[in-house]
Every structure is written in structure tokens, then in C-alpha cells.
């Protein structure tokens, strides 16, 4: 499949987390508006990489007409302020994530996060390790943002992008949908990734019922039938509905594992995460128990577990978790078998 407009994928280093980040450059044609979808993390090496990659399409930061951010995380929004300072361009992000782009440190340093990690049963020494890691992030200029809502459109010139709200990983995570040569396509950010699954629960503690919201996001991707997705990390996804269905199957399997842990007795999210993920370091100190909490919370909202203090316990043996997950077989090709 080929796009009907110029789109350049820049792979940027990420010194704080694993893997590489994608920045997409659109509007390099004459009379188009040069647009970046995400910017990479605020770091000198990443800054140099982005400058060099733009130079390959005869552009500089000053030429950027617009920045579109999929969400507030630093590895996607970190250089937005630097670009805005050079170009004077607007930086757009969903209204739910706008406050954390304008004040990046708030997302990983406020009282709400400390309250959650304590509530999950995280030991004091692990809390200290986590917040030392988060405090070590470089401080980069924050942009002034222009919020958008689902359904808002951005006319680049050769293509029009439509904002699609995809909450779960963060409260405001959004993709940008457009008409490709073979059907509807999506810049998906971290809502849909190949090979591994976006974190829910720890990636943004502001999200209520994070797993439920993310399952709704995935179900929407299946129903909308995108023919290709361009994720925030790694290569293009050629079967977005199938990949979304696989991630739903993954979470159903993980919920079953959480139930198995609770079969041995009441447990906190921290204890459950230790069984699921083992010893955790760096950002995973947050993501592990956050993911465990998301699954426990999903079970709790369904009335299958009860909570006492920081611990969760099964209300009955062998709970039926099937109704907790959307049935999307009618939207998938005949013979589809999920890969969990």
C-alpha cells in the first residue's frame, strides 16, 4: 500500500525508555503545511537526530507549520516546546492531555501519583527508586498548546486528518485518521503497537477505569476497520483490527492470570505485579503495579472481586470473566484466531 501524499517516518532515539520513537513528517509538498505528528523525547541526541532528518527533506524547525501530539508523554511531546520556539507554530494536543504538555513534570510528580503508588502497596524503597528515576528526566521548554477534541480536523494540504480520541494509555491519547489509497488509515500513537502492548493503569493515573476505557478504544479500532495504522513505536501495522483484537485477547489472558493469583488469597496490586512481571526497575516500577491495578479494578467494577484496604479478593471461585471483554468476531475475517 502507498499513501496518496508525502509522509516521512523519522525514527528517533529514546534515552529514557526502551526502543525508538516515530515522528511523522507530513506536508513537504509545495503549498502544503509542514506538520509533525509527535516530536520525540527532550534530549540533545534526539534533538540533533530530528534536525538532521528534517534537513533531508529540506526543512528546519523554523519551517514547521504545525505540531500534532498523540499524547502528553515526554517521549512523544518532549521537543514540542523547542520546535514552537523556533517556528512560532501551534502545538495541538487533546484537551484532556493539554495541562500535562504545558506542565510536563506534573504527570510524574504530583500528589495523585504518590497517592496511587502507596494505594497499590508499593514499598517505600521502591517508591524512592521510582521517583528518583522520574526526577532524572531532562527539563526542556514546554510549549503553549492549542487543545483539540475528537472529530476536529486538520487540513495539511494534500490530506485532511481527523482527531480520534483513543483513551486508556493516557486520558487524552488521540490518533489522526485519514483516507489512504486503500481505505481509512490511522496515526495511532501508543494506542496500538506491534509486538507489545501499551501500558494501562500506570502510564496515566488520572484515567478512571483504565482497562475498560482501553478495551473500548480497541473495540472501536476493530469496528472502524482501518486498513493500516502508523504507531508511535516500530513499523506500520497492516491489520489494525486484527492487532487490536489480539491485544484484547492478551488482556483477557492477563485477567485470567490475575484471577489465578487471587485464588491463593487476597493480594495488593504490588503483590500481583510481582507475580506477573517479577522484579521491576525504572519506569516499570510504575507500569507493573499500574497494569495489575487496571485488571483488578476491571474485576472489581464487574463485581467479581471485593476490596479491603489495599488488597483484592475473589468473591467466588472460578469467576466468569468472558463478559468483561468485547466480542468482535462479527467485525473480523472468517477464521480469525487471536494471538494473545
Number of separate domains in the chain: 1
Model pLDDT, residue 40: 95
**Selection from 24, 64, 22 nearest residue 40 by Cα:** 22
| 11 bridge partner residues | 22
CATH of the domain at 151: 3.60.15.10
Model pLDDT, residue 24: 97
**Cα distances (angstroms) measured from residue 229 to each of 97, 172, 201, 271, 316:** 22, 18, 23, 35, 41
Residue 138 lies in a domain: no
Residue 211 lies in a domain: yes
**How many CA atoms does the CB half-sphere of 80 hold within 13 Å?**
32
**Selection from 262, 224, 263, 272 nearest residue 244 by Cα:** 224
Span 209-232, pLDDT tens digits = 999 999 999 999 999 999 999 999
Residue 277 lies in a domain: no
Residue 332 lies in a domain: no
Would you say 92 and 178 are in contact if contact means Cβ atoms under 8 Å apart?
no
Q: Which residues of the chain have pLDDT under 70?
A: 1-2, 4, 15-18, 107-109, 340
Residue 202's domain comprises: 7-109+143-246
Model pLDDT, residue 239: 95
Model pLDDT, residue 335: 81
Residue 249: alpha-carbon gap to chain centroid:
18
Residue 69 lies in a domain: yes
Neighbour-count burial of 83, counting CB atoms closer than 10 A to its CB (0-12 exposed, 13-18 middle, 19+ buried): buried
| 178 bridge partner residues | 185
Strands 35-37 and 66-68: parallel
Would you say 51 and 60 are in contact if contact means Cβ atoms under 8 Å apart?
yes
- Whole-structure pTM over 0.75, yes or no? yes
| 307 bridge partner residues | 312
Amino acid at each position: 500500500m502507498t499513501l496518496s501524499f508525502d509522509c516521512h517516518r523519522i525514527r528517533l532515539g529514546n534515552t529514557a525508555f526502551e526502543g525508538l520513537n516515530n515522528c511523522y513528517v507530513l506536508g513537504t509538498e509545495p503549498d502544503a503545511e509542514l506538520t509533525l505528528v509527535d516530536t520525540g523525547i527532550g534530549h540533545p541526541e534526539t534533538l540533533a537526530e530530528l534536525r538532521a532528518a528534517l534537513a533531508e527533506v529540506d526543512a528546519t524547525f523554523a519551517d514547521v507549520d504545525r505540531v500534532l501530539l498523540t499524547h502528553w508523554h515526554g517521549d512523544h511531546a518532549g521537543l514540542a516546546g523547542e520546535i514552537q520556539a523556533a517556528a512560532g507554530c501551534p502545538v495541538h494536543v487533546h484537551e484532556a492531555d493539554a495541562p500535562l504538555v504545558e506542565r510536563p513534570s506534573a504527570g510524574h510528580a504530583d500528589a495523585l501519583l504518590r497517592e496511587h503508588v502507596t494505594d497499590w502497596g508499593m514499598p517505600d524503597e521502591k517508591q524512592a527508586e521510582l521517583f528518583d528515576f522520574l526526577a532524572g528526566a531532562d527539563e526542556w521548554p514546554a510549549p503553549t498548546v492549542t487543545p483539540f477534541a475528537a472529530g476536529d480536523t486538520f487540513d495539511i494540504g494534500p490530506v485532511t486528518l481527523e482527531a480520534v480520541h483513543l483513551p486508556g494509555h493516557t486520558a487524552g491519547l488521540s490518533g489522526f485518521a485519514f483516507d489512504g489509497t486503500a481505505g481509512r488509515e490511522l496515526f495511532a500513537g501508543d494506542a496500538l503497537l506491534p509486538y507489545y502492548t501499551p501500558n494501562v493503569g500506570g502510564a496515566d493515573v488520572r484515567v478512571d477505569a483504565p482497562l475498560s476505557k482501553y478495551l473500548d478504544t480497541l473495540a472501536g479500532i476493530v469496528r472502524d476497520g482501518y486498513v493500516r495504522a502508523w504507531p508511535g513505536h516500530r513499523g506500520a501495522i497492516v491489520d489494525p483490527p486484527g492487532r487490536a483484537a489480539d491485544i484484547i485477547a492478551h488482556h483477557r489472558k492477563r485477567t485470567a492470570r490475575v484471577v489465578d493469583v487471587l485464588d491463593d488469597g487476597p493480594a495488593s496490586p504490588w503483590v500481583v505485579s510481582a507475580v506477573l512481571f517479577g522484579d521491576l526497575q525504572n519506569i516499570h516500577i510504575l507500569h507493573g503495579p499500574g497494569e495489575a491495578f487496571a485488571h483488578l479494578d476491571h474485576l472489581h467494577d464487574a463485581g467479581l472481586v471485593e476490596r479491603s484496604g489495599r488488597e483484592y479478593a475473589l468473591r467466588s471461585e472460578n469467576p466468569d470473566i468472558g463478559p468483561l471483554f468485547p466480542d468482535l468476531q462479527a467485525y473480523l475475517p472468517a477464521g480469525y484466531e487471536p494471538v494473545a
